[in-house]
Amino acid sequence: MRLFVGLGNPGAKYADNRHNIGFMAVDEIARRHGFAPWRRRFQGETSEGLLGHEKVVLLKPTTYMNESGRAVQEAQNFFKLSAGDVTVFQDELELPPAKVRVKIGGGIAGHNGLRSISAHIGNDYRRVRLGVGHPGIKELVHSHVLSDFAKSDRPWVKALCEAIADNASLLAAGHDSSFQNKVHLTMQAKGFFDSEEEGGN
Query: CB pairs under 8 A, 24+ apart, for 31-34?
Result: 31/165, 32/162, 32/165, 32/166, 32/168, 33/165, 33/168
AA identity, residue 74: E
- For CA atoms 117, 144, 165, 179, the dihedral sign is negative
Phi then psi dihedrals of residue 78, to 5 deg: -60, -45
**In what side-by-side order are the strands of the sheet with 2-6?**
39-41, 44-51, 54-61, 2-6, 86-92, 126-131, 100-104
Which residues are part of the catalytic machinery?
19
